[in-house]
Structure 1
């Protein structure tokens, strides 16, 4: 049971319009969205994140960052939502999806750029900083704008993990589960 009640349907027109923008046609809004929409301020702040536009890093890179961030934070809710919604489009194979759950990281499964992204997420999760060497590895594959995007994504999805885990949101019925990929 969530710790804060989601906004009940029918939703105000403005909120429904936002849901319609981010959800596939006919799909109900995620519990995360309806819970945040129960507070006008929280919903406005959350929507301002605007990090899923695909302008600076590829869909695959974005999803690697998000999935590793959520996996390391133990956020099955958001990890599962992203695996279900984006893994196919991001061309993530089952073994790669499973590897987002593995700790420690096995860099041999990834391209050098993807390995740098994953090592960045692990360093941020473990120490909330990057060493000069870790930053140099990231810099070898990404420019300033892309690096800022990666850091913003990691921070935003760490916040999403705090929300989903802290509010004890029930897993979406259609979303992937950690156990689905534990032995892939």
Structure 2
């Protein structure tokens, strides 16, 4: 992060049609992430559509947030963690689960079989990109075709988010809106 706790680029203006689309998805507010994306309206518009789709997938909220938070940990994206931890809690993730997500090996008794399979998949996909057949097969025991596609896209999408946040050193302000 820069010495003064600000991103590496200045925040863009909050006006224009794309900013309005982003604000509509966000419930009226733009995040620092949005304001950085607005330096490129085509990128911001595509990002907004993709992240909106990922956030409204058929995946249960606890699985979606588990994946987002795990990717944040693996990629050292503090903004992403700060933005999604409260959402994860509302989706049903417990204090114990949130603590486990922060560990190098998050395995433990706190996870359902489905959550465990999703977590192992997220780790494999984020750490090595290639997912072993056994990891994929375990995931298929719990998710249908659509949910698999949505899970893979969520892991990939939030890897993109985390890399953007980390590269531009976006600090995690309190009360920031997510994704």
Fold similarity call, TM over 0.5: yes
Q: Residue 138 of structure 2 corresponds to which residue in structure 1?
A: 137
Q: Residue 80 of structure 2 corresponds to which residue in structure 1?
A: 78
Unaligned runs of 5+ in 2: 1-5
**4+ aligned runs moved over 6 Å, structure 1:** none
Q: Residue 20 of structure 1 corresponds to which residue in structure 2?
A: 23
Q: Residue 113 of structure 1 corresponds to which residue in structure 2?
A: 114
Cα separation, 2, equivalents of 1:154 and 1:59: 14
Contact residue 96 and residue 109 of structure 1 kept, 8 A: yes
Q: Please, what TM-score do these two structures have when normalized by structure 2?
A: 0.87
Cα separation, 2, equivalents of 1:128 and 1:100: 19
Deviation at 1:15, TM superposition (A): 3.3
Cα separation, 2, equivalents of 1:80 and 1:67: 9
SS of 1:38's equivalent in the other structure is coil
Contact residue 18 and residue 41 of structure 2 kept, 8 A: no
Aligned match of 1:8 in 7, 13, 37? 13
Contact residue 77 and residue 170 of structure 1 kept, 8 A: yes
Cα separation, 2, equivalents of 1:80 and 1:109: 22
Unaligned runs of 5+ in 1: 176-184
Higher deviation after alignment, 136-145 or 88-97: 88-97
Q: CA RMSD in A?
A: 1.6
Deviation at 1:44, TM superposition (A): 1.7
Q: Residues 1-184 of structure 1 correspond to what in structure 2 (within 5 A)?
A: 1-9=6-14, 11-12=15-16, 14-25=17-28, 28-49=29-50, 50-54=53-57, 56-84=58-86, 86-174=87-175
Deviation at 1:97, TM superposition (A): 1.4
Deviation at 1:89, TM superposition (A): 2.3
